[in-house]
Amino acid sequence: MRWVLERRLERSAGIALVSPLIAIALTLVTMAVLFTLLGKNPLTALAVYFVDPLMDSYSLQEIGVKSTPLVMIAVGLSLCYIANVWNIGAEGQFLIGAVAGSWIAVRTHGSDAGLWVLPAMLATGAAAGAAYALIPAICKVRFGASEILSSLMLVYVADLLLDYLVRGPWRDPNGLNFPTTADFDAAATVPTLIEGGRLHMGALIALLVVAIATILLRNTLKGFEIRLVGAAPKAARFAGFNADQMVLFTFAVSGALAGLAGIIEVAGPIGHLQPGFSPGYGFTAIIVAFLGRLHPVGILIAGLFLALTFIGGEEAQISLKVPLDLTKVFQGILLFYVLACDSLILYRIRFVSSHRRPADGIA
């Protein structure tokens, strides 16, 4: 037995809708097998991962907190991927946004600087993220260098820059030699939505980003251009759309969103700059973008789901004593299933006996 792919006459709308659900179901089955191999009761383990975090208010808020950067970054990346532009260095743009915004927080620390500090930090973070993303974009447009490889290389560079700053010039002198900046002042902190809660204003910004992206893609010429350049580059060229400008535009927007997410993360839930503050949000956001079918609203739902896996993974590490890396395994498997199921939107699988060549069947 072997299988061949048959192109469908048109996209299957039904499968487009259910494919993320099939992918999640297949992932849960695979995870159950993995848990069994690790010697855990699969049902209890899955409950710890996916149900327990929904049961108390702290975890529920935490899902909102963790999905905020995921959704913001993934919306930006989806614009790139729709236009067939491959920014995979969002993690670096996220870190650079955090670093650049923190610069203002570090410089104004202990001063009586007023309300302008936080907006300036957010604007700086977004601008720095966009500038950092434009490096691979310009290398691509100007010299034809693969944006995939150069954007990824810059993730390592951003990580090392962050490491240098918090171990060197920006280290908190009263921080007992820990590599971290001093805690940000109140004026440099993203306020929480509820007094004493965890959920912060960043969540509202993420929702705003989703709304704007939805309108951009559905109702504007720019949105049409993004979709056309990705789906039919030749037609886009005839229509007078410039593919190079599209690379610059999508990289700048996705970099700005990643940078903004970065500074919101350190000025919000974390409160200071430290190495390793990101559990790989920039990479997980790639999965979020695909699981959300590159649609802003889908990304919002996918972001909440993947945030759940981060929290479930932490709970499972404590209560089940399974390694934290299991969360990454889970995310990788999920992306495989999402991509595989997406293939069924365009193709139908037909099984054929291995003796007959498929070409013999139809004249």
Partner 1 sequence: MGLLEAIILSVLAASTPLLLAAAGELVTERAGVLNLGVEGMMIMGAACGFAGAYLTGSTLLGAGVGITAGTAMSAIFAALTLGLAVNQVATGLALTILGIGLSGLIGAGFVGDRIVGAPHLHIPLLTDTPLIGRVLFGQDAFVYASVALVIAIWWFLHRTRAGLILRAIGDNHASAHALGYPVLKIRTLAVLFGGACAGLGGAYLPLAYTPFFIPGMTAGRGWIALALVVFASWRPMRLVVGAYLFGAVTILQLHAQGAGLGIPSQLMSSLPYLATVLVLVVISRARGTAGSAAPASLGAAFVPDR
Q: Is 362 in the site for partner 1 (CB under 8 A)?
A: yes
Q: Which residues pair with 280 in a beta bridge?
A: none
User: What is the Cα–Cα distance from 192 to 217, expressed in whole angstroms?
Assistant: 30
Cα-to-chain-centroid distance, residue 142: 27
Q: Which is nearer to partner 1, 144 or 196 (CB)?
A: 144
Assess contact for 32 and 42: CB atoms under 8 A.
yes
Q: Is 18 in the site for partner 1 (CB under 8 A)?
A: no
Assess contact for 126 and 259: CB atoms under 8 A.
yes
164-183 positions binding partner 1, by CB under 8 A: 164, 168
268-327 positions binding partner 1, by CB under 8 A: 283, 286-287, 290, 323-327
Q: Which is nearer to partner 1, 40 or 200 (CB)?
A: 40
Q: Which is nearer to partner 1, 171 or 328 (CB)?
A: 328
Is residue 293 helix, strand or coil?
Answer: coil
Choosing from 150, 214, 242, 274, the residue that interacts with partner 1 (CB under 8 A) is 150
Q: Which CA distances in Å does 73 have to 46, 82, 118, 156? A: 27, 14, 20, 18
- Residue 27's H or E segment, with its range, is helix 13-37
Q: Which is nearer to partner 1, 6 or 56 (CB)?
A: 6
Of 301, 297, 305, residue with least CA distance to 211: 297
User: What is the Cα–Cα distance from 280 to 296, expressed in whole angstroms?
Assistant: 21
Q: Which is nearer to partner 1, 114 or 168 (CB)?
A: 168
Of 316, 320, 282, residue with least CA distance to 92: 282
Q: How far is the CB of 56 from partner 1 (least distance, A)?
A: 27
Choosing from 58, 116, 156, 178, the residue that interacts with partner 1 (CB under 8 A) is 156
Positions in the binding site for partner 1 (CB under 8 A): 3-5, 7, 81, 86, 88, 135-136, 139, 143-146, 148-150, 152-154, 156-157, 160-161, 163-164, 168, 283, 286-287, 290, 323-333, 335-336, 339-340, 342-343, 346-347, 349, 358-359, 361-362
